[in-house]
Amino acid sequence: MKTLHPASVAVRSLSRSLNTGFLFFVVGIVASPGGNGTDLLSVFGLVAIGIVVGIVYEFAYYRRFRYELTGDTFDVTSGVLARRDRELPLGRVQNVDIRQNVVGRVLGIAAVHIETAGGGQTEVSLQYVAEAEAHRLRRQLRRGGSATGAESADERARDADDEDEFEPTTDEDVLFEIQPHELAILSVFTIDPGASLLGGIALSFASGLDPTALVPTDRFTWLPGPESGLFTLIWGILLFLLAAWLISAALTFTRYYGFRLTRVDDELYYERGLLQRYSGTIPLEKVQTLTISESIPFRWFGYAALSVETAGYAPGQSDSRGTESAIPLADADRVRELARAIEPFGPIDLESPPRRARERYAVRYLLVVAGVVGIAYALARYTSLVHRWYVLAVLAVLVPLAAHLKWSSRGYRIDGRYFLTRTGFWRRTTKVVPYYRVQAVIHSATIFQRRRRLASVTADTASSATLLGRAATAYDVDSDRGLEMQADIEERLQDRLRARQRQRTVDRWVRDSSDATDDNSTAENDDMS
């Protein structure tokens, strides 16, 4: 069995010792409130003990961590105080991701994260192994454990000699490389939710700025004065949004810098990242759903994005566990071309929901406007933040337009091999689901839908995105039509499963016949010798 890279002790100890050292520092401060020299010496002594404890723990973790790739399983033994033995069947391995931070790239080590079907969490993490070993493990896990005796002599020689060539490139087909202008557009117009917290921190540092220096209210008399509470609120919101946007743009740039997508045999291979480098695989045979996203303002430039979902997990998702970007941003026609290379679906000519669904959206938006006007009235009556509350009633003029845009952005289609759905105006998503990937077909109707004889039909797959409410769903279809769709998809599912089973039987028969022929030829050659 193999061990982790010796440098992993130093890298893991740095993080562990900082955490334990800070914990001991807090304990020392609480236990020594006096603040005299003797107490400070005790505090620093506790910090030193915490650092030593962290280093000792990580050294013990390194000494007791073992892993081995066998013909059928990937075995891992770990644990310092409590031992844990795990055997991962190679047939259940979904994705193998490799991650390198700045320190790892300098030291030539990487973390390997192995995901299995049926869960959205990392099953095994190797932190850290040599960079060449990380790529060797991923290559052999993708082959189903070719590190065993079944591996050919040529493959073993290649793995031994080509340590600098981490991935096989003979059959590599470059599908996509992000261009500088595409990365710039993606960074400028992407808002990362995680940047909101950082934006709040930046806001706290900028709270001492004088807003009147940046907003000359003597020239813009229509603005509320600096003494107004509304002025302070507007200034705070603008500052928060500006900080969140700047930080989000920087994070997006570093995350997708150098994004590259290639195809090797029946798998997609991606790599991305500036400071922290990510690389991983997307097995085409385990793809559950394709999602084409066309968000505003990207649609204005003619761009779209493509993401894929695999069973129970979507690889390398920027720690989001939902879907992985096969293409973060590219020309919309190019995105559809690559999507059809993965799943050869036909034209995206979708059927719209009935017109009474649009009436339902109009009623919903009118209720929202009424709620906003009601809140504004309450603020005007009991506070000084709002005065002309009735001006917000003009939003009712936009209700018909909003309802029409929502209605026109939804649709569905059932063809011979795929179930296609579309929804969303601000972020329009088109999902493509092969029938043989469908786990269940759900026909549902809320009390409001039933009043207008509407329903929603969902094609549930094994993807973890389904658990997050992002399954392929045809919204607000006619209720009777929804029942027909449910029966139709279920029937097509069974037909596709039977066809795939027949194809697998034929392939197995051809393979067995070929092996038997080769064995007979070998036996005849031996007899002649």
Higher confidence at residue 269 or residue 210? 269
With bands split at pLDDT 50, 70 and 90, how would you rate the model's confidence at 169?
A: very low
Question: pLDDT at position 203, please?
Answer: 56
pLDDT for 271 beyond 60: yes
**Cα–Cα distance for residue pair 197/231, rounded to 1 Å:** 23
Mean pLDDT of the chain: 79
Higher confidence at residue 470 or residue 131? 131
Q: Mean of the pLDDT values across residues 400-426?
A: 94
Highest-pLDDT range among 98-107, 226-235, 357-366 = 357-366
**Cα–Cα distance for residue pair 503/201, rounded to 1 Å:** 58
Under a CB-based contact definition with an 8 Å cutoff, are residues 410 and 400 in contact?
no
Under a CB-based contact definition with an 8 Å cutoff, are residues 240 and 200 in contact?
yes
Grouping H, G, I as helix, E, B as strand and the rest as coil, residue 419 is strand
Name the pTM for this structure: 0.75
pLDDT for 202 beyond 60: no
CA-to-CA dists, residue 181 to 88, 186, 278, 330, angstroms: 42, 9, 21, 10
Under a CB-based contact definition with an 8 Å cutoff, are residues 214 and 238 in contact?
no
Q: Quote the strand ranges of 377-439, DSSP E.
A: 411-414, 418-423, 427-434
pLDDT per residue as tens digits for the range 298-345: 998 899 999 988 775 544 444 444 346 688 999 999 999 999 988 899
| pLDDT above 70 as % of the chain | 72
pLDDT for 253 beyond 90: yes
Question: pLDDT at position 67, please?
Answer: 92
pLDDT per residue as tens digits for the range 23-71: 666 666 666 555 444 466 666 776 677 778 778 888 898 999 999 988 8
Q: Write down the H helix ranges in 153-221.
A: 153-161, 180-188, 195-205, 211-214
pLDDT for 479 beyond 80: yes
- Please choose, from the candidates 102, 153, 106, 158, the residue with its C-alpha nearest in 3D space to the C-alpha of residue 135: 158
**Cα–Cα distance for residue pair 301/321, rounded to 1 Å:** 28
Question: pLDDT at position 286, please?
Answer: 80
Strands lying side by side in the sheet with 454-460? 440-444, 454-460, 472-478
Question: pLDDT at position 161, please?
Answer: 47
Amino acid letter for position 91 = G
